[in-house]
A and B are shown apart, each in its own frame.
Chain A
């Protein structure tokens, strides 16, 4: 234990000192103070005005999304701007956008867990929540994008009176399995990780109704060694399963495009490029959400600047991967010598959608470059601006891939121009309403920080140390 020197506890934990390890939780927090802080948010009987205002706005967006879906089903998919060359418009763009957002949560909770990155503990809970809510938004779009929504169950291999089965060669069918598996595994992962924390809330609950609700959710969790032993094993296995899952799910989403023959879509770089983009956009969304949440709920000493800085480093790294992929697509278009592919990429950069392409490049490739500087990585305003730009840029990436490739392909006689309708726009805005409704409910009713996990990476508070192990405390002095 004494081999690792722990750096003195201060407020700035962003400096890297090779002689020791920086504290991840600052400001002299104890086990009790962590519990008080995190549970306090859930237990506060008053309704925060800012929360309520945001919740009402989010509900409004959700209501708009639902009414537009009803309108869509009653009227037909022609209410969108999709036309014949561009039959995949915003719904699929939004689908890929939201699925991508959803990948950072699993990356943080699973891959960083396998890599033993302790800094994940402060952010993994709400990153996972973000995953699930983003997947809910994502799942909505392919569901309503089909013209006959009431036959969508034909996508599932159910024995039926027609003796018909889905065609297992379509990546859109793989999407069904990928997204539904991803949604269920992330939900189980998230819920399992939350059980000890829910048990804490249950044990602190005073009102019998709260005790019952959190008691049911906690599944009778007791803090015994056998349960923890099994919990840790199960958590590790789930992390090991979720890691290939997160990579394969977005790979399958990329197959929707890469498996087709369309110039601009038929590219073997898509699977890793999409996954990198998903991590990129997902982390940007985590930063976008973490910064206001930590300020609003006084979690600045649990989600510290070091956490944000680490996320910004991931954004920088994956942003570079995405930039590499953009460059490689152009290189291969030139190198491959296929006229259609060459045209597809020249069309992206200089065609009728040039503005979308350059928004994408400047947001995704240029804006994260400021993170080379520590001043930018640790500045709240700068990281918020960059994170939001990245979210915008990654939406445009999907728009550029989907729409520019479709609007001008092999035959000039079938070139078109895609214009979104108000329904398209309303549904994108409404999907944010759905996302934030769920996310705000989560912040209010569930522990937003994995208390049990954070406590394992804290500096052992001094007073406990000396009380439990006087001889150890003496040797340290």
Chain B
């Protein structure tokens, strides 16, 4: 006849096993659920040209809109064409090895194959202009780009992350003239005031993004 070991018969004796199993379960769930593998946070591909935001936006203090010039008017924030690079690099660092590909692109007209870091699925229609007009600054979603040697994904860009802000926008709103100010410190009270003054109510329905 088959016997179960007596220690299996009471909860008290198996409590250790249950607690240990529960802990292991929580650890596994947290490790994998919050890992960058799941959320894409920290995604930092190598780019064809070693472009440094830290130099251009940080040290040189170029405004974001000099290169990403459609960001206030269009849904899509443009990657600058080679011509924008050549505005300066036609004269500066003309012999630099790092810029070899840029010069070649300018000569042949072939686009530089930049690797997209912030990649939303095509069924989610994000609009840059709408967010900038409402007073959402670059750094709120992209982090301190002016400190990044190579751009990486700062936030998960998940739907829950989007909705968190649409449901509670106050801490993320700033005056529109400060949107490209990377050093700006967000302030929930000021945000609330701006929202109230301008009557901004973020949408939460499906058709806002999933058109």
Contacts and interface: CB of A to CB of B under 8 A. Distances in A.
A215 B2 contact: yes
Interface string A188-228: 00000000000000110000000110111011100000000
Nearest to B9: A220
Contacts of A162: 158-160, 163
A160 interface: yes
B160 A220 contact: no
Contacts of B156: 161
Interface in A224-261: none
B106 to A, nearest CB: 42
Sort chain B's interface into a size bin.
10 to 19
B66 interface: no
A212 B2 CA distance: 6
A161 B3 CA distance: 46
A161 B2 contact: no
A161 B1 contact: no
Interface in A352-406: none
B4 A161 contact: no
A216 B4 CA distance: 8
A212 B3 CA distance: 9
Interface string B1-34: 1111000000000000000000000000000000
A202 B3 CA distance: 11
B39 interface: yes
A163 B2 contact: no
Contacts of B160: 160-163
Interface residues of A, number: 15
A163 B163 contact: yes
B159 A211 contact: no
A47 interface: no
B1 A202 contact: yes
Interface in B70-119: none
Contacts of A53: none
B2 A211 contact: yes
A220 B3 contact: yes
Given A161-B39, A163-B163, A215 B1 contact: yes
B1 to A, nearest CB: 6
B2 A216 contact: yes
B10 to A, nearest CB: 13
Interface in A85-134: none
A422 to B, nearest CB: 34
A215 to B, nearest CB: 2
Contacts of B2: 202, 211-212, 214-216, 218, 220
A474 interface: no
A218 to B, nearest CB: 7
14 contacts: A160-B160, A161-B38, A161-B159, A162-B159, A162-B160, A162-B163, A163-B160, A163-B164, A164-B159, A202-B2, A203-B1, A212-B2, A215-B1, A218-B2
Given A162-B158, A162-B159, A164-B159, 20 more contacts: A161-B39, A161-B156, A161-B158, A161-B159, A161-B160, A161-B161, A162-B163, A163-B160, A163-B163, A163-B164, A202-B1, A211-B2, A212-B2, A214-B2, A215-B1, A215-B3, A216-B2, A219-B4, A220-B2, A220-B4
List 4 A-B pairs, minimum CB-CB distance, nearest first: A215-B2, A162-B159, A161-B158, A163-B160
Interface of A: 160-164, 202-203, 211-212, 214-216, 218-220
